[in-house]
Structure 1
Amino acid sequence: MENKFLKEFNQENSILVISSYPRKKERYSKGVCAVASFTKNTLLAIKKQNPDKKIVILTMQLNNKTEIYKEDEMLIVRCFKRNNPLSYLNLLNFARKFNNVKTVMLEFEFSSFGDVISTGSLSFVVWALFILGKKINIIIHQVLLDLREISSHIGLSRRSLKIKAFNFALKRFYKFLSFPAQNIIVLEDELKNRLQNIISGDKITVIPHGVDRQVNYTLTKASARKKLGIKSNDFVVLYFGYLTWYKGVDFLIKSFQKLNQIKEKQVKLIVAGGPSFTQGEKEHYKKFLAKTEGLAKGYPHIQITGFVAEDQIANYFKAADLSILPYRRFMSSSGPFSLALSFEKPVLLSSNLGLLIESKDA
């Protein structure tokens, strides 16, 4: 690492962030998990409030090589590999170089860093940082205490011994991960309610999911629809996000197979998203994806777009009349819900997301 970077960023009041992170000059990138955009939006907001604050992001490599560069007056260090716990040694090596930086912020979501072994190994990274004298703050994006609720999502039988073993380990993982942390941050009240059954509620703070206000408000519905080839008098329902079981995209498509008209308006369901980044290579997910895509075939009023590039996001939200979130399970705050609020769109929630409305910030 260049000495000029160490001199500039190795300061006591700097922040060391460990997280997935978007590609250069992007906020919503393909090939990284959804937490990446959340992290960048959060850090940009911190920089806006505190322009002199120095921020170092230790994140995953994109092309199997270490990269160090400045962007938005922050230092990005791509120093470890997803799904490779041995590369955490390199992460810790870089953390040691920033010996004057005492505050660490870890953005944690299951599968963000890799499979079960990579996720479990991350807790030892947290303990190592604690031993190095770092003050650790962990943002836990998902809290689920019974994996039977998402058995189809993870490809396990509800009655299997494996899921029982994972459930046994899950609570202990949360506890082991959280013990060395000064603060645990979650994005919803319900997530705190669940987590404080395992760790002290005094350590847990709720900070609501941010709403991105840096969106294109000048774009009109008419111009967005023209760009996307959507008729002006269609009633457009938008599902935005990865195609996953727990988000209910399969039964949503099935529900709309025969719903192609409301009163005198043609209904168009747009499923604006592609395969899950974290699950894409798993066999049970490949079967789910093929089944889901098959449900839309033969129904011209149902469109699956694939991954939506950052410069196209505004077009889809602006073109929509209604955003829909048919989630089967509530285990994290919803980025698509936040985006719908950003574009001031009405949102239809499944009953399983009713707890979002009951939150203090609703």
Structure 2
Amino acid sequence: MKVAHVTLYPPKNSKHTSGSGVASYSKNLITSIQASAHTQSVVCNVIDSPEQYAEDSLDVRRVFVKKPSFIIAVHKELKKLDADVVHIQQELALYGGIVTAFLLQWLVFLWRKKVVITLHGVVDPSKIDAKFVNENNSRLPVWIVKLAFRIIYTPLVKWSQKVIVHEHYFKSILIKSYGVDAKKIIVVPHGVESLVAFEKQNAREKLQLSKNADVVLFMGYATGYKGIDLLIEGFGEYAKINRNAVLVIGAGKHPKLHDNEAYLKEYQRLQDKAAKIIPAGQYRWEGFIDETEIGLYYSASDVSLYPYTTAISSSGPMSFAIGYEKPFLVSTAFADIFAQYPHLLFERSPEAMATRLDYFFSHRNEYSETSSLMKSERTWSNVGQRTVRAYETITGLESGSE
């Protein structure tokens, strides 16, 4: 079976880079499938200039720049490859700005008899309100944003042969809000790497963190729905009852917004808020954390926090926590996803977050096996096998683009 992957892809000899977690996701997925002896090509983004090369026994073709013309470059390359399956990774504005998000549907239409699409985020239009719009750095009226999501997602799921999502919760949204046939949707969890944590005290020494501190980690790009206001307020409450607690804020500036004046002003507001609410010795604002240090930060922490206001996609940073088998806590935005793990959840209020942190540090043994269990269910080898089964359901269909 010949598979062409359309995605962002990390530079040679790297995996976790700034810009999008989809790039590292794709590399993990594709290399896990490679063991299955399928012929694979990666049609991906240009780094410095267009090029074609082999890496990990894969055919990598860097042919498009993230702008509206990307669909022309990708379509031409797909015609050369004539693959049995075209697997497209989708995240809002992944291939450029909002215009490219609308244009992607035409690429799906052209290759509709061969397309498997992975939706890394699924937004329920019924849940879009003024708060959601504001958190996602938009000034458009709510009704326009709702309409835009329907216009973007409906053709993608209609014209694809199979749709992959990472959680059953997202499948239910596609069925109820977008009218997708349940048989068309395949749930394949976000894979987690088989990572080995450093010894905690060694990691803390390298990061200059106290060996006796109760260390709480937040990692991820600073965007509205990540709940950084709640993170700061909730930890501020907890810091009042635990002077030994330290919050490490690995909130990098989002690469798509680094030149946006309003976004930079909001980023500074959050930094100022942390300085005002949390005692100086009980937090560190680290900003973007390079991939070479990710393991150190998770190894040095006792628990990581995900106080999101809404669950619109699987969390890459959370996958690190699972991969390193480290405890984590999440807001009730993830209640439908982690319903079987109620001890992980806290209501979206500062007091509730502080209470959950207090419970965690008093009952650590209750959290020791949760990430290990999730890790066993979400290995990349398992994810690769399940993805290949999705390919196999369509390889008997008529091939070719129209």
SS at 2:173's partner residue? helix
Is the contact between residue 224 and residue 318 of structure 1 (CA under 8 Å) also seen in structure 2? yes
Structure showing greater relative contact order (alpha-carbon pairs closer than 8 Å, 6 or more residues apart): 2
Structure 2 residue corresponding to 1:39, chosen from 3, 6, 26: 26
Within 5 Å, give how 1:294-313 maps onto structure 2: 294-297=272-275, 299-313=280-294
Shift of 1:258: 5.5
Shift of 1:140: 0.5
Is the contact between residue 111 and residue 278 of structure 1 (CA under 8 Å) also seen in structure 2? no
**Do residues 79 (structure 1) and 60 (structure 2) align?**
no
Q: 1:65-123 deviations in whole A, cap 9, x for unaligned?
A: 212121111122111111x1123211111111102x12011110002112221110111
Q: 1:293-338 deviations in whole A, cap 9, x for unaligned?
A: 2223362321121221222111000000111111111111111221
Which amino acid in structure 2 is aligned with residue 269 of structure 1?
A: L
Cα distance in 2 for partners of 1:164, 1:92 equals 33
Is the contact between residue 102 and residue 151 of structure 2 (CA under 8 Å) also seen in structure 1? no
For 2:14, the equivalent position in structure 1 comes to 26
Is the contact between residue 19 and residue 106 of structure 1 (CA under 8 Å) also seen in structure 2? yes
**Do residues 339 (structure 1) and 326 (structure 2) align?**
no
Which is richer in helix?
A: 2
Moved more, 168-177 or 348-357: 168-177
User: Structure 1 residues 235, 190: closer, same or farther in 2, change over 3 A?
Assistant: same
Cα distance in 1 for partners of 2:142, 2:9 equals 30
For 1:62, the equivalent position in structure 2 comes to 47
Which amino acid in structure 2 is aligned with residue 39 of structure 1?
A: S
For 2:118, the equivalent position in structure 1 comes to 139
Shift of 1:261: 5.9
TM-score, normalised to structure 1, is: 0.87
Which amino acid in structure 1 is aligned with residue 52 of structure 2?
A: I
Is the contact between residue 260 and residue 267 of structure 1 (CA under 8 Å) also seen in structure 2? yes
For 2:168, the equivalent position in structure 1 comes to 189
For 1:248, the equivalent position in structure 2 comes to 227
Cα distance in 2 for partners of 1:282, 1:195 equals 32
Is the contact between residue 112 and residue 278 of structure 1 (CA under 8 Å) also seen in structure 2? no
**Do residues 230 (structure 1) and 244 (structure 2) align?**
no
For 1:291, the equivalent position in structure 2 comes to 269
SS at 1:231's partner residue? coil
For 1:111, the equivalent position in structure 2 comes to 93
SS at 1:58's partner residue? strand
Q: 1:3-30 deviations in whole A, cap 9, x for unaligned?
A: xxxxxxxxxx121001111122111012
For 2:253, the equivalent position in structure 1 comes to 275
SS at 2:337's partner residue? helix
Shift of 1:242: 1.0
Structure 2 residue corresponding to 1:102, chosen from 58, 80, 84: 84
User: Structure 1 residues 85, 273: closer, same or farther in 2, change over 3 A?
Assistant: same
Question: Matched residue pairs, number?
Answer: 335
Is the contact between residue 140 and residue 186 of structure 1 (CA under 8 Å) also seen in structure 2? yes
TM-score, normalised to structure 2, is: 0.78
Identity within the alignment, %: 27
Cα distance in 1 for partners of 2:74, 2:123 equals 27
SS at 1:356's partner residue? coil
Cα distance in 1 for partners of 2:324, 2:313 equals 21
Shift of 1:166: 2.7
SS at 1:75's partner residue? strand
Is the contact between residue 270 and residue 304 of structure 1 (CA under 8 Å) also seen in structure 2? yes
Which amino acid in structure 1 is aligned with residue 109 of structure 2?
A: W
Q: 1:264-289 deviations in whole A, cap 9, x for unaligned?
A: x6111001231112333334322221
Cα distance in 2 for partners of 1:312, 1:156 equals 32
Q: 1:32-88 deviations in whole A, cap 9, x for unaligned?
A: 21111111111122123x1x222211111123x212121111122111111x11232
Structure 2 residue corresponding to 1:173, chosen from 123, 135, 152: 152
For 1:8, the equivalent position in structure 2 comes to none
For 2:74, the equivalent position in structure 1 comes to 91
| RMSD, matched Cα | 2.0
Cα distance in 2 for partners of 1:97, 1:211 equals 33
The answer for unaligned runs of 5 or more in structure 1 is 1-12
Is the contact between residue 213 and residue 245 of structure 2 (CA under 8 Å) also seen in structure 1? yes
The answer for unaligned runs of 5 or more in structure 2 is 342-372, 375-402
Shift of 1:249: 1.5
Moved more, 322-331 or 194-203: 194-203
For 1:324, the equivalent position in structure 2 comes to 305
Shift of 1:262: 4.7
Is the contact between residue 33 and residue 278 of structure 1 (CA under 8 Å) also seen in structure 2? no
Cα distance in 2 for partners of 1:258, 1:204 equals 42
**Do residues 356 (structure 1) and 337 (structure 2) align?**
yes
